[in-house]
A and B are shown apart, each in its own frame.
Chain A
Amino acid sequence: MSSISDSDDAVRSERSGLAALVFDAKARSLFFQAVLAILIIIAAYIAVRNAGANLAEQGREFGFDFFGRPSDIQILTTFGTWLIGYEAGKNTVFDVFLLSIANTLIIAIAGVIFATLWGFLLGIFRLSNNFVLNSFATIYIELLRNVPLLLQIFFWTAVLRLVAPGPRDAGWLVPGLLSWNSKGIYGPYPLVEPGFSYTLIAFLLACVAAWGFARWAKRRQDATGKQSSVGLVTLGLLILVPTLVFLVTGRPMTIEWPNFVTEGPILRRGFERGIGSYIAPEFFALFLALTTYTAAFIAEIVRAGIQAVPNGQSEAAGALGLPPGLAMRKVILPQAFRVIIPPLTSQYLNLTKNSSLAAAIGYPELVAVFAGTTLNQVGRAIEIIAIVILVYLTISLLTSAFMNWFNNRVKLVER
């Protein structure tokens, strides 16, 4: 031991003054950090100075006052315009900003839900012994994963244009519920009358009650081993209680069905605007493309996750007498979830970010209408792009935080 430190000292003593400093790990680290910091500061300084000079040259100022200006751009009727009640000329740029965020969020949420369902189904098909299901899933996954999403969005847009009935015709998309033509999808719209709030309150109370019952049932099972049918009770609470209140308060809601005009001037024929609920074809095409594309990735993640559970687990479950379905639900999937959740999170984030491809087909979300049309109108490139980046970062961080919380709940607790 002593001989090592002796020779170490000997090496150190050989180096004097400057050399000792050059070879000192701390000094080196400090030096390189200082160089990096100085470079970053210089780059930032040059960028800010140039931005100032460029803005001055174009006679523009830096600021966010453009948010208060009236916005006179026409925007496709979507969730966002419905939420804000947007009318060109009456609303401000800030309203446009809010509605574009709402549109981004609604496509992301719809896409995440359906991509998860479809992706899990495909992943289970992929693992199935059934040759038909297996080869369908394999072909589907290998086809969709390896073709650019933008091309698929164009493809779905073209397919919808081909398949949908013409703008003066109508066809059922879901018989009895949703009808459609090339101008969009039309469905019933609930018109709420005063007194409906009681039904909403009843629903909220039912949620609380269901949650309380689930907690009680879990405690009871932990203590006594007795199981109770939580699923049935929850379902009953959530459906029966609001329905009862709704009926008792005198059905305070009417359903407005879309109005299909077959007479009068030719340009007025087709579905009447503003009656019933409406989904734009751009939204539907984007939704189909995002869902089918992301599902292919989710299917592979699910397959990998289930395969990562050792075979002995399902054998052990079988030895305990669990039927395959229950073994899947209680033994395999909870363990597979630990592997699945981190990559699934990044797929959700990818889907949200990919919704920005709507810019190519004109669905009015954040990039298309705020970083596109609004930027062209008010010309504040620096401010608008910085805001767009901040919004996406916020969405990403919130999703990651939520999925991390969920991951912590399901992850393996080790010593």
Chain B
Amino acid sequence: MNQDISYVRTEDAPLLEPPSSQIGPRAWLWENIFASMADYATPSKAIVSIMMTIITVFTAYALVWMTWTLLDFAIFSATFFDPEGLKREACLDAGGACWPFIKAKWYQFMYGFYPPEEVWRVNVCMALLAVGIAWLIFPLPHRGKVAAFMLFGYPVIAFVLLNGMPIEHDGDIGHVVSGVWFPLILAGIAFAGYWVTSHGSIGDVGEAMAPALLMAAIVLGIFAGLPLVTMTLDLALGTEVVETNKWGGLTITLVVAIFGIVISLPVGMLLALGRQSNAPIIRYSSIIFIEVVRGIPLISVLFFASAMLPYFLEPGVDFNKLLRAMIGVVLFASAYMAEVIRGGLQAIPKGQYEGGMSLGLSFWQQMRLIIMPQALTTVIPGIVNTFIGLFKDTTLVLIISIFDLLGILSATLKDPEWSTPTTAYTGYLVIALIYWIFCFGMSRYSVYMENKLDRSHR
């Protein structure tokens, strides 16, 4: 077996460059654009190729045309400055966007008719909100505490800042204390009761009473503590009352949207649990609420809240229009949220409930520690979609004449000093961009969270 193997290579052949048809812009163009329209082997394939060519050319033309129209409108033909204060005359001839209009009305877009000397209050609210949300989005330490503050503390602060103290008082904290001492003491007693029942061993009945006592302590504490907290804040900040009919613009949009988001999530959870319950009365009342609300448009819910609800209240009782609209939005969003969460609950295997029970956890402990964390994680995209829908739906409050961002725009478009053929388009472009940034941001965040929390095997 003494063969000559000199013809066998001893080293690797040099790597060749891929053929030019496989790399570079030409290959990319071929693969991504022209490959679908180059097959003429049979008549039917030729027809498909020709149709693809026509559609592609048409679509490319549409894309270029739209991009060009937008650029031309927003930049090339636009009026940017109005140094002489000509208002509409400055924009009349250009044929493009009228940016001085946006500059002149920007304050109203942001704050509506909020008094300019008080506007720092809105800004502080927004800044706190931005910090809070940023804290929760980028995982910084103490997220739990920050989340609790944003859920319970922030609304109170935001209310006092935006609205001012609605209760008449003479600036003496003693008077407030004397007004709420009784519920305050009751809250203390209830909390002491909770402490004793949950830590001492005073029998089963006491054990069963502990959650009820805790609830009582919390309710009474809020009832008695809220005036104290708001008044202290009021004294510290010295804020005047700004009626809600002066609010407007992005401020109202955010107030309605965030109120809706914060309330609809827990209410939706309760409704979803109610719909899964074995108790018929609880189940059917949840089903009826969810299905009725989901079956009707938001406008009719808002009409219900603005035109029908006053009839069902005590004669003479009239509450704020904005609050009624917010209740309408919350009712609407909760029903959708309930269905999203129910989807998550149905995805939880039965073993998870049984595991919880076998550990001796109570129903609420099971929900809090085992079921809800998993159910909510699986339906994050659905929850965020509901939030996005809610954010877009806040525009509907303009139909019951509340001036949200879109409502303010419609109102400012009627200003004859700025009436030009392009004012409306400029306004729509800017407002659409604001909404788009919020909604697109939320949808990207949901994609990010989905990937981050994805525990499945891939």
On A, residues with C-beta under 8 Å from B are 15, 18-19, 22-23, 29-30, 32-33, 36-37, 40, 46-47, 50-51, 53-55, 57, 125, 128-133, 135-136, 139, 142-143, 145-151, 154-155, 158, 162, 325, 349, 353-354, 356-357, 359-360, 367, 371, 375, 381-382, 385-386, 388-389, 392-393, 396-397
Residues on A with beta carbons closer than 8 Å to the beta carbon of B313 = 50, 54
Closest to B314 in A: A50
Flag if A131 contacts B32 (CB, 8 Å).
Answer: yes
Q: Are A381 and B307 within 8 A (Cβ)?
A: yes
Nearest A residue to B307 via CB reads A381
Return chain A residues, CB-CB under 8 Å to B310: 54
List B contacts of A396 (CB < 8 A): 294-296
Q: Determine if B192 is an interface residue (Cβ-Cβ < 8 Å).
A: no
Give the shortest distance, in Å, between B265 (CB) and chain A (any CB).
20
For A142, list chain B residues within 8 Å (CB).
440
Q: Find out whether the CB atom of B431 lies under 8 angstroms from the CB atom of A151.
A: yes
- Complex interface bits, B376-396 against A, C-beta within 8 A gives 1, otherwise 0: 000000000000100011011
Interface pair B279/A151, CB less than 8 Å apart: no
Q: Which residues of B contact A354 (CB under 8 A)?
A: 297
Query: A114 CA to B185 CA in the complex, in Å?
Result: 65
Contact B282 A36 (CB under 8 A): yes
Could you give 27 example pairs across A and B, Cβ below 8 Å?
Answer: A15-B204, A19-B203, A19-B205, A32-B279, A32-B282, A36-B281, A36-B285, A50-B313, A50-B314, A51-B311, A129-B31, A129-B32, A131-B32, A132-B60, A146-B388, A146-B440, A147-B436, A149-B395, A150-B396, A353-B298, A381-B308, A388-B296, A389-B292, A389-B296, A389-B304, A392-B300, A396-B295
Is B372 part of the binding interface, using a Cβ–Cβ cutoff of 8 Å? no
Contact between B436 and A359, CB atoms less than 8 A apart = no
Tell yes or no: B421 within 8 A of A by CB.
Answer: yes
Q: Are B205 and A149 in contact (CB under 8 A)?
A: no
Q: Are A132 and B63 in contact (CB under 8 A)?
A: yes
What B residues does A37 contact at CB under 8 A?
281
B431 and A128 contacting across the interface, CB-CB below 8 Å? no
Collect the chain B residues with CB atoms within 8 Å of residue A360's CB. Answer: 398-399
Q: Measured between alpha carbons, how far is A278 from B29 in the docked complex, in Å?
A: 47
A147 touches B304 (CB 8 A): no
A-B contact count (CB 8 A): 162
- Please give the distance in Å from B248's CB to the nearest CB on chain A: 16
Q: Which residues of A contact B32 (CB under 8 A)?
A: 129-131
Beyond A150-B406, A367-B297, 17 additional pairs, beta carbon < 8 A: A22-B205, A29-B278, A32-B282, A33-B282, A50-B313, A50-B314, A54-B310, A125-B59, A132-B56, A146-B388, A147-B436, A150-B396, A158-B425, A158-B428, A353-B296, A389-B304, A397-B295
Tell me whether A149 and B392 are in contact (CB under 8 A): yes
Residues of B near A132 (CB, < 8 A) are 33, 56, 59-60, 63
B contact residues around A36 at 8 Å (CB)? 281-282, 285
CA–CA, A292 and B435, complex, Å = 18
Q: A375, B281: Cβ atoms under 8 Å? A: no
Among the listed B31, B282, B294, B300, which residue makes an inter-chain contact with A367, where contact means beta carbons less than 8 Å apart? B300
Are A356 and B56 in touch, CB under 8 angstroms?
no
**Given contacts A150-B395, A158-B425, A389-B296, A129 and B36 within 8 Å (CB-CB):** yes
What 1/0 flags go to B300-321 for Cβ under 8 Å of A?
1001100110111111000000
B62 beta carbon closer than 8 Å to chain A = yes
Interface residue from B52, B56, B208, B439 paired with A23 (Cβ < 8 Å): B208
The yes or no answer to B134 lying at the interface (CB within 8 A) is no
Interchain CB contact under 8 A, B281 and A50: no
Does B71 lie at the interface of the complex (its beta carbon under 8 Å from any beta carbon of A)? no
A22: chain B residues within 8 A (beta carbon) = 204-205, 208
Contact flags (1/0) for B27-60 with A, using CB distance below 8 Å? 0000111011000000000001000100110011
